[in-house]
Every structure is written in C-alpha cells, then in structure tokens.
C-alpha cells in the first residue's frame, strides 16, 4: 500500500456565492464538506488511480469525526490517530462572478507530546507494509518543527521511498534528512533557496539534501532534478480552471508512478496530466478522469542538459 | 420556565482577521464556536438573567451535536428534537481594521414531515410548564411556511404569552394567528407593511393581528404599540459596538419582564438596556452585565399620544 501522512488534517468547507460583498450578509446553500489537508487530497487521488492507500495523521473533535466520516465514503483506509484538540476547518468562498476564491485556513489543534508519540508508534507500525510514503502539508501547533525530518529518516531507514511536500521551516528541516523527493511549488522553492529562477532554485534545493526535486510550476508543468536526469514536463496547453489540489494530484502522480516502477519521465507525465486534469475539473480538488487519460499522451517531457543543472 | 423555539438552529463560527482581502488566503486562529439561531441567543440571555429556560427546536448532524454540546455548558435546558439533516452553519468574518463583518448564513437542513410532527409533539408537551414562549428566526426547508401560525395558536389556546420574532412570509402568516407580541426590526416592519415610517408601519402591523408590536429601531431604541398604551423607549446615548444579537437581547428583555409581571414601560426599559449592553459587549451576542444594570435606570420611556397611533 501507499501511505499518506496528514498531520494537520482539515474539514474543508466550500461556499459558492454569486458575488462576495465584504460587510454584507449572504444567504448560501450548505457548505460542500470535504476531508482536507494535502495528504488526504493525495490519498483520494491515489485511491481513484486504483492504489491501495492508507491515510494516517492526527484528527480530533467534532470536525475530526466529520473528516473521518467523509473518508469512510472513499476506498482510502483510515488509520488516523485520535487527539483531543479539534481538527481545523478551512473555509473557501468561491465568487462566481469574479472567478476567484477567498480563503480562511485555521492554524490547527494543539497536539500534546503524548499524542505525537502515539502517532509516531502508529507510523512506524504502518511503514511495515508501505511501498511509498507521502508526507504532506503544514504542522499543527505542538508537533515538533523537526517532525518531518524524523519521519523521513524512519522511512529511509526501511528503504521506503518518501516524498515530502511542505513549506517553511518544516521543509528546511525535512529536506536535510534526505527525502527521496521534495515537491515544492515555485513560491516554496524561492522561499527555501532565495532565488526565483526555478532551475537554479531546484539545484540549490537538491544541494540541501533531497535526492530529487520535482517542482510544480503551475500552468508551466514541472521541473525535475533527479539522480537519473533532469527533465521539464509541460502540458499541451494551459487549462483554465481552479488550481486547488493540482499540486496534491501531482504528488499522487509521482508517487503512484514510483510504486509501479515507472521511470522518472513517465512519473512526470502522469503528475502533469493529473495536475492539469485537476485544474480542469468542475469541483475543487477533484480530477477529470477522461481528461487525465487524454492528456497523459500529450504531456511533453524533455531532458534538460546536465550543464543547466 | 420560559420556552424558546429555534427551528433553524445554527453553529455560529466567528473569525477575526486583521483585514479581509477578497481573493486572498488568510491564516486564522480556530473559529470561535457558539450555539446560534435567534431563539438560542434569546435563551442564553434569559438564563443569564436568572430565568429557568428551556430551548427546543430541531438539530441534526455533527454540527447539531456541536450546538448541543455547547448548549450543555450553559444553564439552558436542552429539549431539541434530533433530525437527520445537518444543522446549518453561519460564518462571520470580522474585519478588525474596517470594524465590519461579512456573513455567510446557510439556509438550513431539509426537515421531513415526520420530524416536523415530532417537534410539534415535543412543543405541545413543553407548553404545559411554560410561562411564556419565544418563537424566533427563520424556518429551515421542509418546515411548513405556516409553522409559526400553528405554534402561536397552540400557545394562545393555553393562554401562554407568545412572542414572534421572524421575517418575510413566516411573519406574515404568523402575525395573522394573533401572537401577544411581534418584535420586528425597522427593515422587517417595512417589508411587512410597505411603509418605512416606524409608527405608521407598527400601526399597520398591529392591524394584521398582533396584540402588541414592539419594534426595535437600532440605536434609536424601541417603539411599542400595545393594548395598554403606546411608548417610545430610548437609550441614554447611542453606543458604539457590534449590533449582533441586540434584537435577541431585546426579546429576552421583553419576555422576562412579561414572565415577572412587569408593566410594558418596565419591559421596554429592560429590553432597550439589554440591547444596548449587547452592542457594547466585546463578544458578539453577549451582553455586558454591569453596563446593563447601569443603563436600566437611564432608558427613557415616553408615552406617545394615542392619536399618533
């Protein structure tokens, strides 16, 4: 199975309004509720690609129960550890006229040292059957900032491929533990390395310890620096739509390809096609399966000269 | 006891942001959660005034459970009827720099005929011990639009004073069933009667069937047309603050005064003082008890000439 870790799970609430007017009162239909947090998005995509997928992390309170109830409606296996603090909410208000989204992301629950230790036990246990691991998203208060570094080392010690997708200090610490892949977006890469040129930034990120860097560059596709070579993967054309979850679909593409023994160019083609099919889907964070199949053959994967890297 | 009815209860979520920027992502502390819906606000104020208070209505889903958990932390007795559909949420985003609030109010759950019948049984049972009844707020989908008219008649048949605080068609139907008091605000009164002059509109509303009309006029206080006389009650000065829940505090003031056998002028003084103390309180929907005690003697209640009415 593929294991995904979501330490700061979320109950995602999405509202659609014809026009968001600050200061005004809006009468709206009930929120669309989804299990959220990057790792859970990755898990859903992996499961719909047909992979046996186990999701672990921390969940608590009434919001945590709702997340788990929603997860039970999918084929993802729930191995979350229950905590006392309530799972955070995210609120997205989609403005239909402007075509944009206003977001409120709660920081997350306070996690006790005992809860973090219980998670660590569960994670170690789950690693036994894992063929690949995705560590995704922010850390809730109380979880040590070096948490991802610790989890990366545990997977690496068992020779299980581990992908890290986070930002800020948790990324900085985690990358030093030498994960197999990091998947930053352009902004995260620039924040980590201090340079905005994606190729130079990816080179700098790799020097910090990641075996491979697969950077998602929005409508421009992905750039990957790996032990096997350097590639740029681009979708046939930029697709209009909602980019929510596109990066998580890319992670699912990379990791499923890895678990299936595909080479880097095929992993990248899958990641970029899934990502584009997510942008094009009507619901945020879902992907359009027909479009994914169609795009898969159209993604262009070009080797870059090693001198560039 | 005093009975409050909240057919469309809510889980009120309040976020505070330094500055609400449409289209942007905001990292926010966890929402402040409160049991909401006008009837529950009224119940909380009645309870803090020392009245034995029973809250009934409809509640369902994970959000309904959270509302009931929060209600259990108060002295209000929970007599809600459980339904299948999930209790709605309201989301308030308070912009600290602008001092204003943007609101999203969900419409509410679908209520089945069997659930509505179960509520009617519970309500009839609870009326036995009720000294006064408050029927407050909007109706969720599935509840007949004439629901309040039916509930007014049931209370009136048992000679229990009943106050109705709603809007639109449910108010139009409910008022025809001859409640003891309706408490519209200026906008609701204008929508009901087609006239924006509060006194003329109150006269017209009373002709539609209410024994008394107590209209809340924001910072101008209240205007009451009753079988005992006509009064205007004004606070000593307009208070700055958040008007959320001020109307509900006014309802609690009127109803508690009624249950204690106070005359109309004293009920109005209490309603206006509570309302002003709610606007002045730091948290939305709470009232400042010290300020309430101080304002109570400062509210000016003036009889209006019957010719005006």
Residue matched to tokens 């208000």:
A93
Q: Provide the b/e sequence for B188-227 (b: ≥16 CB within 10 Å).
A: bbeebbeeeebbebbbbbbebbbbbbbbbbeebbbbbbbe
DSSP string, A241-270: S--TTHHHHHHHHHHHHHHTT--HHHHHHH
Expressed in percent and rounded to 5, the helix, strand and coil fractions of chain A are 40, 25, 35
Per-residue pLDDT, B191 = 95
Taking one residue from A and the other from B, the number of pairs with CB-CB distance under 8 angstroms is 97
How high is the pLDDT of residue A306?
55
Q: Which two tokens stand for residue A177?
A: 């533990």
Using the Cβ of A25 and the Cβ atoms of chain B, whether some distance falls under 8 Å is answered with yes
Find the length of chain B: 309
Query: Which token pair is A27?
Result: 């009468």
Instruction: Provide the chain B residues 28-57 that lie in CB contact (below 8 A) with chain A.
Output: 28-31
Question: What does the pLDDT look like over B205-243, one tens digit per residue?
Answer: 999 999 999 999 999 999 999 999 999 999 998 777 778
What does the block give as tokens for A3? 């294991």
* B94–chain A Cβ distance below 8 A for any pair: no
Q: How many residues comprise chain A? A: 309
- Measured distance CA(B193)–CA(B114) in Å, rounded: 34
Position A99 pLDDT exceeds 90: no
More confident residue, B82 or A283: B82
Contacts of A98 in chain B (CB under 8 A): 22-23
Residue B86 and residue A30: Cβ atoms within 8 Å?
yes
pLDDT at B267: 98
For A282-301, give one letter per residue: b (16+ CB within 10 A) or e.
Answer: eebbbbbeebbeebbeebeb
**Radius of gyration from C-alpha coordinates of chain A:** 19
Any idea which of A183-192, A283-292, B12-21 has the lowest mean pLDDT?
A283-292
Q: Judge whether residue B309 has pLDDT over 50.
A: no
CB contact under 8 A, A30 and B109: yes
Share of chain B above pLDDT 70, in %: 98
Cα(A143)–Cα(A7) distance, integer angstroms? 8
A227-251 CB burial, b ≥16 within 10 A, e <16 = eeebbbbbbeeebebbbbbbbbbbb
Residue B128 to residues B122, B154, B155, B178, B232: CA-CA distances in angstroms? Answer: 11, 11, 10, 20, 34
Average pLDDT over residues A41-67: 97
Q: Give the β-pairing of A10-17 and A88-95.
A: parallel
Q: Which residues of chain A are within 8 Å of residue B35 when distances are taken between CB atoms?
A: none
Region for A168 from its dihedrals, namely left if φ exceeds 0, alpha if ψ lies in -120 to 50, beta otherwise: left
Give A244-276 pLDDT, tens digit per residue.
889 999 999 999 999 999 999 999 999 999 999
Mean pLDDT of B170-196: 96
- The ipTM (two decimal places) reads 0.84
- Token look-up 């039970």 returns A72
CA A264, A270, A273, A276 torsion: positive or negative? Answer: negative
- Cα–Cα distance for residue pair A211/A214, rounded to 1 Å: 10
Active-site residue flag, B248: yes
The span from the CA of B20 to the CA of B27, in Å, is 11
Buried b (16+ CB within 10 A) or exposed e, A200-209: ebbbbbbebb
Helix (H/G/I), strand (E/B), else coil: B144: coil
* A93 CB within 8 Å of a chain B CB: yes
Q: Which residue of chain A is at minimal alpha-carbon distance from B10?
A: A30
Helix ranges (H only) for chain A are: 38-48, 61-71, 113-127, 147-157, 168-176, 186-193, 198-207, 246-259, 264-279, 289-296
Instruction: Name the residue facing B20 among A22, A29, A31 (closest C-beta).
Output: A22
- Measured between beta carbons, which residues in chain B are less than 8 angstroms from residue A104? 15, 17, 26, 28, 93
pLDDT of residue B119: 98
Mean pLDDT estimate for chain A: 94
Nearest to A80 by CA among A31, A129, A34, A43: A43
> Looking at residue A309, what is its pLDDT?
43
Instruction: Judge whether A15 is closer than 8 Å to chain B, CB to CB.
Output: yes
* Cβ–Cβ gap B30/A93 under 8 Å: no
Judge: A100–B65 Cβ closer than 8 Å, yes or no. no
- Give the DSSP per-residue string, A134-179: EEES---TTS-TTHHHHHHHHHHHTT--EEEE--HHHHHHHHHT--
| Selection from B28, B34, B37 nearest residue B10 by Cα | B37
The domain limits of chain B are 2-303
Does residue A225 contact residue A204 with C-beta atoms inside 8 Å? no
User: Looking at the DSSP assignment, which residues form a beta bridge with residue B92?
Assistant: B14, B103
Token duo for residue A135: 């560590």
As separate numbers, helices (DSSP H) first and strands (DSSP E) second, chain A gives 10, 15
CA distance B273 to chain A (A): 26
Q: Under CATH, to which class is B2-303 assigned? A: alpha beta
Orientation of helix B61-71 relative to helix A61-71, angle to 10°: 160
């Amino acid at each position: 199975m593929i294991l995904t870790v979501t330490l700061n799970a979320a109950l995602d609430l999405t509202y659609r309004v014809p026009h968001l007017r600050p200061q005004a009162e809006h009468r709206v239909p009930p929120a669309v509720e989804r299990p959220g947090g990057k790792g859970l998005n990755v898990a859903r995509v992996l499961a719909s690609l047909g992979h046996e997928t186990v999701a672990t992390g921390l969940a608590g309170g009434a919001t945590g129960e709702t997340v788990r109830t929603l997860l039970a409606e999918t084929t993802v296996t729930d191995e979350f550890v229950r905590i006392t603090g309530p799972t955070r909410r995210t609120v997205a208000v989609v403005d239909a006229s402007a075509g944009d989204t206003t977001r409120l992301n709660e920081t997350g629950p306070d996690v006790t040292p005992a809860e973090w230790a219980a998670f660590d036990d569960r994670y170690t246990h789950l690693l036994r059957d894992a063929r690949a691991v995705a560590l995704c998203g922010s850390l809730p208060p109380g979880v040590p900032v070096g948490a991802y570094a610790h989890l990366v080392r545990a997977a690496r010690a068992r020779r299980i491929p581990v992908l890290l997708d986070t930002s800020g200090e948790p990324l900085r610490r985690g990358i030093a533990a030498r994960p197999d892949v990091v998947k930053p977006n352009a902004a995260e890469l620039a924040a980590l390395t201090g340079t905005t040129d994606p190729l130079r930034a990816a080179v700098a990120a790799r020097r910090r310890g990641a075996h491979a860097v697969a950077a998602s560059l929005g409508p421009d596709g992905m750039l990957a620096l790996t032990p096997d070579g350097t590639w740029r993967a681009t979708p046939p054309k930029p697709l209009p739509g909602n980019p929510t979850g596109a990066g998580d679909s890319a992670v699912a593409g990379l990791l499923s390809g890895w678990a299936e023994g595909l080479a880097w160019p095929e992993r990248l083609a899958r990641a970029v096609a899934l990502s584009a099919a997510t942008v094009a889907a009507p619901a945020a964070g879902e992907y359009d399966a027909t479009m994914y199949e169609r795009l898969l053959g159209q993604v262009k994967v070009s080797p870059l000269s090693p001198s560039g890297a």
